[in-house]
Chains A and B, each alone.
Chain A
Amino acid sequence: QSALTQPASVSGSPGQSITISCTGTSSDVGSYNLVSWYQQHPGKAPKLMIYEVSKRPSGVSNRFSGSKSGNTASLTISGLQAEDEADYYCCSYAGPYVFGTGTKVTVL
């Protein structure tokens, strides 16, 4: 089972919106509405930001939103802030689970 494909890096200026893509296959992302997204700051454990494609856990800013079309899921961060600079990983259920390759978000 191959890792989901994410862009290596995405950048934006404060206040802008950015979107991170997560491309899988019809066996994972395309088959289940069970994509989750995680934020990871350097040296820290990952934090759940989105689950079941577009749901936000309690306490997560509404600047984070998720969507899916076909075999590709997306995470959008609106109103980009300095604290959003981190690595982001998608994850899809596929019987087992599969994570994405990770995206480094830089706030310019």
Chain B
Amino acid sequence: QITLKESGPTLVKPTQTLTLTCTFSGFSLSTSGVGVGWIRQPPGKALEWLALIYWNDDKRYSPSLKSRLTITKDTSKNQVVLTMTNMDPVDTATYYCAHSWVQGGTGFDPWGQGTLVTVSS
């Protein structure tokens, strides 16, 4: 059974850097084709894809947020870390991580429960 769980601060101040950790079980990020992605959802709004890292360290970023995002993996710890710099109140959202089983776009399944991050001074 695959599970993922997001962790990190619930409140960050404007201009600060957000660091989120996705800790997973039931699969390995050293398995060919496997990836972990991050998706966010502002309150009452739509999903927005942020970034994805694959087993071979191939990294993909949202073009509109690429300059602010960094995604890394620690295969030994079964963790993926997303950092987002220069946080703004518009970045207030629930942040989800999700498993991707085929390199190259097939989809995300399952998802973590999500973690709400509020950006406020």
A positions within 8 Å CB-CB of B: 1, 3, 32, 34, 36, 38, 40, 45-48, 51-52, 57, 89, 91, 93, 95-102
Report yes or no: A96 in contact with B111, Cβ–Cβ below 8 A: no
* B26 interface residue (CB < 8 Å to A): no
Partner of A45, one of B49, B60, B104, B113: B113
Chain B interface, >50% SS class: loop
By a CB distance below 8 angstroms, the chain A residues around B60 are 95-97
Known contacts A1-B63, A102-B46, A102-B47; is A97 also within 8 Å of B109 by CB? Answer: no
Report yes or no: B106 in contact with A45, Cβ–Cβ below 8 A: no
Partner of A96, one of B49, B107, B109, B112: B49
Report yes or no: A45 in contact with B111, Cβ–Cβ below 8 A: yes
Give Cα distance in the complex from A34 to B104, angstroms: 9
By a CB distance below 8 angstroms, the chain B residues around A89 are 46-47
In chain A, what residue has the closest Cβ to B61? Answer: A96
Give Cα distance in the complex from A66 to B106, angstroms: 14
By a CB distance below 8 angstroms, the chain A residues around B63 are 1, 96
B36-92, CB < 8 A from A: 37, 39, 46-49, 52, 60-64
Give Cα distance in the complex from A52 to B112, angstroms: 21
Report yes or no: A51 in contact with B47, Cβ–Cβ below 8 A: no
Report yes or no: A96 in contact with B62, Cβ–Cβ below 8 A: yes
Known contacts A89-B46, A96-B62, A101-B46; is A46 also within 8 Å of B107 by CB? Answer: no
Report yes or no: A48 in contact with B108, Cβ–Cβ below 8 A: yes
In chain A, what residue has the closest Cβ to B48? Answer: A99
* B96 interface residue (CB < 8 Å to A): yes
Report yes or no: A57 in contact with B48, Cβ–Cβ below 8 A: no
Report yes or no: B47 in contact with A46, Cβ–Cβ below 8 A: yes
Chain A CB within 10 A, most for which of B46, B104, B105, B110? B105
By a CB distance below 8 angstroms, the chain B residues around A1 are 62-64
Give Cα distance in the complex from A48 to B62, angstroms: 21
Partner of B111, one of A46, A52, A57, A100: A46
By a CB distance below 8 angstroms, the chain A residues around B106 are 34, 36, 51-52, 93
